[in-house]
Structure 1
Amino acid sequence: MVRTDSKLKIAVQKSGRLSEGTLRLFSDCGISLNLHEARLIAPAENWPLELLRVRDDDIPGLIMDGAADLGVVGENVLEEARLERGGMGAAAEYRLLRSLDFGHCRLSIAQRTEDANGSLEGQRIATSYPYLLRRWLVQRGIRATPVSLTGSVEVAPRAGLAEAICDLVSSGTTLAANGLQEREVIFRSQAQLIGRMGPLQPEQSATLDRLLRRLDGVQKARESKYIMLHAPKKRLEEVLSLLPSKHPTVVPLQHTRTEVAVHAVSAETVFWETMEQLRELGCSSILVLPIEKML
């Protein structure tokens, strides 16, 4: 599909599991969106892009058919669509641009609690992801029958529609409430930023490059902490060995010649035990701070 406008069109979930995380991510990137609940297109006020707010099941097709430039979609929805479209001979290609740090879940087999250790052989398994389930069954050599349902999968065993289910699980609370026990994870998922195949216009490519830089900065900042402390010079090597950072900055302090200031960015968790060890080495003014932005 060939378009002449230079705005990036990004398909996102209008409402649901990924919607909030997607909007927060764009906001953290400094993108101001003109959102109205009833409108399916949300233009950015300060970027040459617009969001297409659609059902999550529609996002892979919009990308694979070239109707949208980018999409934010759950890996589970993406892979299910790829398998389905591939089986029908339809276009199923896309570019994976970034894995995003939200929308984590798992697709799991669950059975009634009293049957949780029983065989799946010959069983009916209710699911909204028949292609992912069928692939897993073939890989395991299990002969079972997927039963496709578009919603309320958890009630299938109680309603006599199936003996087991295959559905998304986050905490497992819904399974327990319906007398089900998680048995095996068949697919793990998180949000993905994908792009259509084929070249973008130069203006679109520039916008995408800028967006990816900001996405990387936001995600790196979320994962990192900024560490600041005063350390005695004579124990500096021991102090630096405790810090979860490869390139700390060491600067002199104006009020003393026996101590230095140490600043470091860490992508690892800084535990209380580490801070206590630093204190025992004579460090003071130990601060561990969140980072808002990084480039």
Structure 2
Amino acid sequence: MKNNNENYKLRLAIQKSGRLHDDSMRLLKECGIDISNGVNKLKADATNFPIEVFFLRDDDIPQYVEDGVADIGFVGENVVFEKNKKVEIEEKLGFGKCRLSMAVQRNEVYENAYFLQNKKIATSYPVIVSNFLKTKGIEAEIHEISGSVEIAPGIGLADAICDLVSSGSTLFMNGLKEVEVIFESQAVLIKNNLLNEVQQQLLQRLIFRIQSVKKAKNNKYILLNAPNNKLDEIIGLLPGMKSPTVLPLATEGWSSVHSVLNENDFWNIIEQLKAAGAEGILVVPIEKMII
């Protein structure tokens, strides 16, 4: 049960070690939240935001959030769906991206998911795999393994595996090939349904900061010089947040144009700007982006 002080702060659960831990701590720092957890401490308070951080095993985070031991959590989306706890996904965090994929031995001929009919599948994600098989109308035997899933086909334990994949190098080293992506995952912010009004307001403040950091990472600030007779064409290529900023240069007939470009469109638009007559293009990273 929460004491009075706990009613006026958020308790955040994050992974206690590993890549998601590092990325979670980095995100909090980019959000201006200062946390020093020392060595081997299981919880720590922020010095400049009403939040307390618990450092837990990632598989345990959805349970802690559902039970109200933690108010919110940063955890992989794959863990949320596998554990199937009563929590809500409030925000996708943009890091920890991976995919849960089926893999078979490299000499197998795999045309579609029906290859798995009546086969044995080794995985650490039986719930997600079971749901996938049901949607495909496939019956298969699932062997739940907590680790070293990749060796299962080689020792005759399974015909296929389903595991998290990033580069695919581990599969290759174990004589396997990726054949079917069944779930795309990234780190998400989850919450329980027990937040009071003050905590809900704190959560919205935190999400606002997270969204500002994410927008900054997905965009670049650019400055360029443009001949005035090409301004309309160049401005037409720049979506920006509303409209580009245009300032006259000391050199007659030229202007400086400032704008923001999305990372996904960046190179295509830069090439078009060059072709339209833009010169001296500078690209600057954005630390925060408030819209």
CA distance in 2, matches of 1:267, 1:242: 12
What TM-score, normalized to structure 2? 0.91
Of stretches 3-12 and 271-280 in structure 1, the one that deviates more from structure 2 is 271-280
Give 2:104's aligned residue: 111
Does structure 1 residue 63 correspond to structure 2 residue 81? Answer: no
Out of 132, 139, 163, the position equivalent to 1:136 is: 132
CA distance in 2, matches of 1:246, 1:43: 36
Give 2:160's aligned residue: 164
Give 2:23's aligned residue: 21
> Does the CA-based 8 Å contact 2:73-2:189 persist in structure 1?
yes
Cα 1:213–1:122 change in 2 (3 A) is same
Out of 169, 174, 186, the position equivalent to 1:190 is: 186
Once the two structures are TM-superposed, the CA of residue 25 in structure 1 deviates from its matched residue by 0.5
Out of 103, 116, 119, the position equivalent to 1:120 is: 116
Cα 1:236–1:133 change in 2 (3 A) is same
Out of 44, 47, 56, the position equivalent to 1:45 is: 47
Q: Secondary structure at the match of 2:172?
A: helix
Q: Secondary structure at the match of 1:67?
A: coil
What are the Cα deviations for residues 1-46 of structure 1, in whole angstroms up to 9, with x where unaligned?
5443222100000112311111111111111111223111022122
1:70 corresponds to which letter in structure 2? Answer: I
Q: Secondary structure at the match of 1:50?
A: strand
Out of 128, 146, 151, the position equivalent to 1:155 is: 151
Give the count of matched residue pairs.
Answer: 285
Of stretches 117-126 and 186-195 in structure 1, the one that deviates more from structure 2 is 117-126
What are the Cα deviations for residues 162-219 of structure 1, in whole angstroms up to 9, with x where unaligned?
11111111111000101111110111111100111133252x3332222111101100
Q: Secondary structure at the match of 2:209?
A: helix
CA distance in 2, matches of 1:65, 1:214: 26
Q: How does 1:251-270 map to 2 (within 5 A)?
A: 251-253=246-248, 255-269=250-264
CA distance in 1, matches of 2:83, 2:231: 55
Out of 274, 284, 291, the position equivalent to 2:286 is: 291
CA distance in 2, matches of 1:276, 1:145: 53
CA distance in 1, matches of 2:134, 2:247: 64
Give 2:243's aligned residue: 248
Give 1:87's aligned residue: none
> Does the CA-based 8 Å contact 1:116-1:181 persist in structure 2?
no
Of stretches 273-282 and 207-216 in structure 1, the one that deviates more from structure 2 is 273-282
CA distance in 2, matches of 1:37, 1:116: 50
CA distance in 1, matches of 2:10, 2:125: 30
Give 1:206's aligned residue: 201
CA distance in 2, matches of 1:172, 1:272: 28
Q: Provide the identity percentage.
A: 45
Give 1:34's aligned residue: 36
Cα 1:137–1:231 change in 2 (3 A) is same
Out of 95, 104, 110, the position equivalent to 1:102 is: 95
Cα 1:275–1:201 change in 2 (3 A) is closer
| Structure 2 spans left out of the alignment, 5+ residues | none
Once the two structures are TM-superposed, the CA of residue 243 in structure 1 deviates from its matched residue by 2.4
> Does the CA-based 8 Å contact 1:225-1:290 persist in structure 2?
yes
Cα 1:161–1:234 change in 2 (3 A) is same
